């Protein structure tokens, strides 16, 4: 089934502590966000991508998109103060499609198999998001003292892509804006409407490039994938 993608790329990358937008940092000579766009650009089911970017970075990002031959970027929205604002701006620019995915431009290692499963599940249920089961023991802490060990059997680490029927997500985004409701992912906005959201098991290497150590992990993933391709 065909789908479109909105990619928030207008963050400040504070936790990366880099001199520039972390998405522009290079792994093996290619900016992080280009790896992300390439996955969707190669997918025949992807009908188009819309990026939410900082106005002052738009030309630079457009130049990279052209230089690396990305064909399916259809437009650029101006990002907002919060990730949620950037996603809403991208959604409104992208316009109607049956299924829309929201994917962090900072997650370059998304699997095409997971994308396909998300699109299928969202077309059936309206909402499906990527995640992986928690592997560590999770505890609640107050003032450096453990207050509770949480039963991890029901805990998942949530990622993107997050896939939705377009009208559902747009309605959720507008309701959240009207209610002053702030969510850290799109699923929270749909949950806020009381609509069920399904989980699709993703891969642990679908990591969000957030802190400097993630760059090290990212380089290791790239090296591993290159070795697989050559073997």
Ligand X SMILES: Nc1ccn([C@@H]2O[C@H](COP(=O)(O)OP(=O)(O)OP(=O)(O)O)[C@@H](O)[C@H]2O)c(=O)n1
The residues of the shown chain that bind ligand X, judged by CB under 6 A, are 8-15, 23, 52, 79-83, 86, 104-106, 208, 210
Which of 12/28 has CB closer to ligand LQXTBERG?
12
CB atoms within 10 A of CB 45: 13
Minimum separation from the CB atom of position 34 to ligand X (A) = 13
Both tokens of 182, joined, read 């702030």
* Contact partner, 160, from ligand LQXTBERG, ligand X, none, Cβ < 5-8 Å per class: ligand LQXTBERG
Query: DSSP readout, 92-157?
Result: HHH---SEEEE--TT-TT--HHHHHHHHHHHHHHSEEEEEEE--S-EEEEETTEEEEEE-GGG-EE
* Contact partner, 86, from ligand LQXTBERG, ligand X, none, Cβ < 5-8 Å per class: ligand X
Q: Can you tell me the distance from the alpha carbon of 191 to that of 186, in angstroms, rounded to the nearest whole number?
A: 9
Which residues contact residue 154 at a Cβ distance below 8 angstroms, ignoring those fewer than 6 apart? Answer: none
| Residue that is written with structure tokens 């249920």 in the block | 125
Which of 158/222 has CB closer to ligand LQXTBERG?
158
Q: Can you tell me the distance from the alpha carbon of 153 to that of 45, in angstroms, rounded to the nearest whole number?
A: 34
Minimum separation from the CB atom of position 118 to ligand LQXTBERG (A) = 13
Minimum separation from the CB atom of position 210 to ligand X (A) = 5
Which of 2/181 has CB closer to ligand X?
181
Looking at the chain, list the stretches that DSSP marks H as alpha helix, in order from N- to C-terminal side: 32-41, 58-67, 83-94, 112-125, 166-179, 186-192, 212-230
Which of 57/185 has CB closer to ligand LQXTBERG?
185
Q: Can you tell me the distance from the alpha carbon of 170 to that of 144, in angstroms, rounded to the nearest whole number?
A: 40
Which of 3/76 has CB closer to ligand X?
76
Which of 103/165 has CB closer to ligand X?
103
Minimum separation from the CB atom of position 37 to ligand X (A) = 12
Minimum separation from the CB atom of position 76 to ligand LQXTBERG (A) = 19
CB atoms within 10 A of CB 153: 7
Minimum separation from the CB atom of position 149 to ligand X (A) = 28
* Contact partner, 114, from ligand LQXTBERG, ligand X, none, Cβ < 5-8 Å per class: none
Catalog residues that contact ligand LQXTBERG under the rule CB under 6 A.
83, 104, 158-160, 184-185, 208
């Amino acid at each position: 089934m065909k789908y479109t993608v909105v990619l928030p790329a207008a963050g400040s990358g504070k936790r990366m502590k880099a001199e520039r937008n972390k998405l522009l940092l290079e792994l093996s000579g290619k900016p992080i966000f280009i790896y992300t766009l390439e996955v969707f650009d190669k997918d025949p089911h992807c009908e188009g991508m819309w990026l939410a970017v900082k106005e002052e970075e738009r030309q630079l990002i457009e130049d990279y998109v052209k230089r690396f031959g990305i064909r399916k970027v259809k437009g650029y929205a101006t990002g907002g103060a919060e990730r949620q604002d950037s996603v809403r701006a991208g959604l409104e620019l992208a316009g109607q499609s049956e299924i829309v995915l929201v994917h962090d431009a900072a997650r370059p290692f998304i699997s095409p198999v997971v994308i396909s499963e998300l699109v299928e599940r969202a077309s059936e249920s309206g909402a499906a998001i990527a995640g992986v089961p928690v592997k560590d023991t999770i505890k609640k802490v107050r003032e450096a003292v453990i207050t509770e060990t949480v039963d991890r059997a029901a805990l998942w680490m949530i990622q993107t892509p997050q896939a939705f029927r377009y009208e559902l997500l747009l309605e959720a985004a507008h309701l959240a804006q009207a209610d002053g409701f702030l969510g850290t992912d799109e699923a929270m906005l749909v949950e806020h409407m009381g609509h069920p959201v399904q989980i699709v098991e993703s891969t642990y290497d679908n990591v969000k490039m957030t802190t400097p150590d993630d760059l090290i992990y990212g380089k290791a993933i790239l090296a591993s994938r290159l070795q697989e391709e050559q073997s």
